[in-house]
Chains A and B, each alone.
Chain A
């Protein structure tokens, strides 16, 4: 157990890698188990080469296509995903049967969410990996942008009701509410598998930390104060 400078209480790293931090997720729906790892991508002790060893050749190749920061992020996020799934499945990270990228993380031979589901996200130096049993999940993290409501409205991803609700908030709270609405939408759309191919304005978020959208439960995740993260969980039916 360690308390970081960020003030967030964190559990011991699950995969024995110092940049991975287990995040507690209170309030998940009954019957659902969720594990979340937060990644500190800029952690000085990160051993990129060691992390890359658990990736498949295709995954390494895809990571290498990105700019240096993108490569670093893709390796660390994918490695953490394998670490977490390996623990859940009782196997080694390299042996986790992940379907090829790109697209939603999926274990080969299973349908999304039936047994085990996973989702990843990153923004700046923060990465998130989530794995759930008996549920579909989506996760998203975003750096707090001091977003202008008007710009967001022009981008077209807010529903009118959301815009009204945010407008009703004190000015100081609007930026966080906007970013939160975005991560919640993205978490849901990732969970559903459509991503941004479905119009985000059709996912109407509660403009609150917690709430429901369709069959999704929205839960906040603890991340450093400059970020907002949300987990969407839909219990398997």
Chain B
């Protein structure tokens, strides 16, 4: 009986240092989280910050953390889309008052705080209708 293994465990099996540096993996060519469960024979690639894919994912995460910081500091701000671009990322926000340079500094500091908090990241897959229901409720509480 095949048991499943996570990308992180695969990295650990190779070397302790790789498991420390591993950021994400690809399974048969598709990029996945490190804790993604691999349950059949597949070709695995491990990415660190030295790889293009690793750096892009760092940027994607940084964008999320930017959005987190903005919503913590400025409740009521709606987040829309935040893609990775060349050399970095951006996030679009809907808010009445424009952000000032001082705001940017505050946000950056809050982002560093969130990095220090080291919040666990995990993925969930929901039905489309459940997602709509959820964001509807979220909107009402703002």
Q: Do A and B associate with each other?
A: no
Interface residues of A (CB under 8 A from B): none
Q: Which residue numbers of B lie inside 8 Å of A, CB to CB?
A: none
